[in-house]
Structure 1
Amino acid sequence: MQNPVLFWLRRHLFSSILQTVLTLLLLTVILMVGTSLLRWGVINAVGLSGNVEQCRAATGACWAVIGEKYRPILFGLYPYDEQWRAALAMLVWFITVGVSLSPACWHSRLLWPLWLIALATMSALMSGGVFGLKPVPSADWGGLPLTLLLFSGTVIIGMPVSVMLALGRRSPLPFLRGLSVVFIEGLRGVPLITILFVAVNVFPLFLPADMEVNKLLRIIIGIALFFACYQAEVIRGGLQSVPRGQYEAAAVLNLGYWHTTTKIILPQALRICLPAVTNHIIAAMKNTSFVIIIGLFDVLTATSAVMQDPQWRRYYIESYVFIASLYLLFGFLLSRYAMWVEGRIDARRNPEGVS
């Protein structure tokens, strides 16, 4: 019996002369680059507990900059003595997300109260002014908590809006369809930076003199609407992929529009476009870094500000590698979770494993 490992190698890496040459060249490049990175990042590097003098004498990476600056990187402008509140708010966020991703909680009667309570708790912790907590204005929020807040607000607000826009664009009512088309194409036709500038600088000009809307809330809504317009086109593609027979079967059963849409059509459409939906959600996580343009200290902006310290400025690569690792981790986890959901859906649709 042939060894399965050798069979896989022969089939995927050494099936022909050309593929063998390409495989060997790629392995050589990986070995050379990997060896250099290993020497720089591990063997000759200074650890988290190091100091500036050790970093200057070393020939490798200086991870001591992370150990020295992790608090301003992770929490930005948030008051130093109150950063435990921001850390607790992040813990609440991670627990809420973890519970929400569990199949046992996939119901609106559980998710909506869960997120309302979680957001209220996080807001109370970050803002203060209650339970004896020192008030902290939203202008002083920053770092990873701000990034998570922007991302959560974008998805929580943007996903329902995207579904409504997608349904509106396929509506038989000309006015509703035209309004959805204008809104989607209008916001997709301008850069996100423009929308942020409008939310921060232009929108307040249309408000009464005695009325003010929180700057952070305006930014979250702006990013969410931008996200919703792109996501709406993905969901519209899923709606178009649902077989016409599904609509006809619902009509035979005398089901109304909303019952047909929410119980039959939309679940199938979301299953079809799940990979593309996940892709835009991951992009929304990365789009939070655009707030650097309008002066909010998200985790990337905070890192750039920290690197102005003359003692540690030369070790900016290590800091950005750390931030890139955070984004990579979030993106990877979201991607793997989406793959798990796809596998779960396929298993339920085809329990016998018949192709």
Structure 2
Amino acid sequence: MTDLSFVRGEIVGQRPAPRRSTGAVAWMKNNLFSSVGNTIMTVASVLFVLWLIPPLYNFLIGDAVFTDPEGLRGQACRIEGVGACWVFIRARFGFFMYGFYPDSEIWRVNLMFAIGIVLIIPLLVPKMPFVRTAAVLFFVVYPVVAYFLMAGGIFGLRQVPTGQWGGLTLTLIISLIGIILSMPIGILLALGRQSRLPIIKACCVGFIELWRAVPLITVLFMAAVMFPLFMPRGVSPDTLLRAIIGIVLFESAYMAEVVRGGLQAMPRGQYEASAALGLNKVKTMGLIILPQALKHVIPGIVNTFIALFKDTSLVSIIGIFELLNTVRAAGSDVNWSSPTHAVTGYIFAAFVFWIFCFGMSRYSIYMEGRLHTGHKR
């Protein structure tokens, strides 16, 4: 029998220590300078950033106008060579936030948002107490309280028509209602599209394909012009309500397809396992299939929410003064006319949209990491 054992008979010489695989230098070597192509791209990107930063800094900060102690308004930004007119944003900040809402009643808007933040925190933060209570209050009680706080007309509150709502407040109202309502409608449409009943399946497929086949701008035009024609004589729904209905129906069709993708990704074994436990179809879908499917499509759901939030700017075409339309309207004020005030307003609006969209994106990443159960790649 051959002896396969091996015994070293001499001392091995000293070897160099292995290279570090962690730290900033190692990360740069592995990600930025791992090959000739990556090195060229890294150097080109650095040169582009170095070329771009100085003019951006000069426009946004270095040469920008932040104060107007002499009350010159637009004249303060008409000096040759000045940058961003931040004093314009500061002066019209209230208009950008609240639109035409009366100044004496703005406390109602602030109170509405304060209540909403207090109620939504337990729903977003894991392991917070009173989650069920907060959910009932947020989804059932809060909409009624928020509406009467904004609209007034009861308890001595001054009545404020929706035509005076505007700014970021209106953008958040439209997007929040659209997100809350489009999600359950989209889930029902996705389940209906997979139904074995021909009538239900045909209706869901027709609804989804109809709303996905037209652009949102067309939907808003139809909601503003055609929707009142289908109502009884003398009944004319509010313009804001029409826009919200159009956005909810439009986004629910896209949400349905996102959810359907998650349902189709579920393996057949999940259905068989629930059947072996004696669960009926409703419990199987509600307790086993749907929670897993929604977890798999979190990126798609949040992507739809982000698109909905940005699409709220389209309601300006039917005369609703959301954030972008208030910026556009304020930019047409002749008292603030200057070469840079309009650009500054759009930069401000873009930054606000970026803050909310980036926040939703990061929260979705957090939820993905928290909910993955060993299958993350």
Question: Aligning the two structures, in what range does the TM-score lie when normalised by the shorter sequence?
Answer: over 0.9
Query: What one-letter code is carried by the residue in structure 1 that aligns with 2:55?
Result: S
For 1:333 and 1:52, how far apart are their aligned partners in 2?
34
Deviations 1:49-93 (A, max 9, x none): 564443223522111011111111211122233223223323333
More helix by share: 1
For 2:129 and 2:364, how far apart are their aligned partners in 1?
16
SS at match of 1:88: helix
| 2:61 alignment counterpart | 42
Query: What is the aligned counterpart of 1:78 among 101, 107, 114?
Result: 101
Counterparts in 2 of 1:44 and 1:267: CA distance versus 1, 3 Å? same
Asked if the contact 1:166–1:232 (Cα under 8 Å) also holds between the matched residues in 2, the reply is: yes
Counterparts in 2 of 1:201 and 1:112: CA distance versus 1, 3 Å? farther
| 1:327 alignment counterpart | 353
Deviations 1:152-206 (A, max 9, x none): 1111111000000000000111111111000000111011122212222212112
| 1:341 alignment counterpart | 367
| 2:323 alignment counterpart | 299
Query: What is the aligned counterpart of 2:226 among 182, 202, 206?
Result: 202
Counterparts in 2 of 1:35 and 1:210: CA distance versus 1, 3 Å? same
Deviations 1:230-259 (A, max 9, x none): 010010000000000001111122211111
By how many angstroms is 1:109 displaced? 5.8
| 1:9 alignment counterpart | 28
By how many angstroms is 1:122 displaced? 1.6
For 2:139 and 2:42, how far apart are their aligned partners in 1?
49
By how many angstroms is 1:354 displaced? 9.8
For 1:107 and 1:265, how far apart are their aligned partners in 2?
23
Runs of 4+ that moved beyond 6 A = none
Asked if the contact 1:154–1:284 (Cα under 8 Å) also holds between the matched residues in 2, the reply is: yes
Query: What one-letter code is carried by the residue in structure 1 that aligns with 2:290?
Result: L
Query: What one-letter code is carried by the residue in structure 2 that aligns with 1:213?
Result: P
Query: What is the aligned counterpart of 1:272 among 278, 286, 296?
Result: 296
Asked if the contact 1:65–1:312 (Cα under 8 Å) also holds between the matched residues in 2, the reply is: yes
Counterparts in 2 of 1:216 and 1:232: CA distance versus 1, 3 Å? same
Asked if the contact 1:45–1:61 (Cα under 8 Å) also holds between the matched residues in 2, the reply is: yes
For 1:251 and 1:17, how far apart are their aligned partners in 2?
56
By how many angstroms is 1:271 displaced? 0.8
Counterparts in 2 of 1:294 and 1:274: CA distance versus 1, 3 Å? same
Structure 1 residue 213 and structure 2 residue 237: aligned? yes
Query: What is the aligned counterpart of 1:260 among 261, 280, 284?
Result: 284
Asked if the contact 2:101–2:164 (Cα under 8 Å) also holds between the matched residues in 1, the reply is: yes
By how many angstroms is 1:212 displaced? 3.7
Identity %: 38
Structure 1 residue 26 and structure 2 residue 27: aligned? no
Query: What is the aligned counterpart of 1:54 among 76, 90, 98?
Result: 76
For 1:201 and 1:60, how far apart are their aligned partners in 2?
42
Query: What one-letter code is carried by the residue in structure 1 that aligns with 2:56?
Result: L
| 2:177 alignment counterpart | 153
Query: What one-letter code is carried by the residue in structure 1 that aligns with 2:218?
Result: T
Structure 1 residue 183 and structure 2 residue 183: aligned? no
| 1:241 alignment counterpart | 265
For 1:145 and 1:71, how far apart are their aligned partners in 2?
11
Structure 1 residue 316 and structure 2 residue 342: aligned? yes
Deviations 1:18-41 (A, max 9, x none): 322221111011011011111111
Asked if the contact 2:171–2:322 (Cα under 8 Å) also holds between the matched residues in 1, the reply is: yes
Counterparts in 2 of 1:302 and 1:150: CA distance versus 1, 3 Å? same
By how many angstroms is 1:208 displaced? 1.5
Q: Greater shift after overlay, 207-216 or 143-152?
A: 207-216
For 2:320 and 2:231, how far apart are their aligned partners in 1?
22
| 2:87 alignment counterpart | 64
Deviations 1:307-347 (A, max 9, x none): 1111323311111111111100000000010000001012x
For 2:130 and 2:370, how far apart are their aligned partners in 1?
13
For 2:274 and 2:347, how far apart are their aligned partners in 1?
53
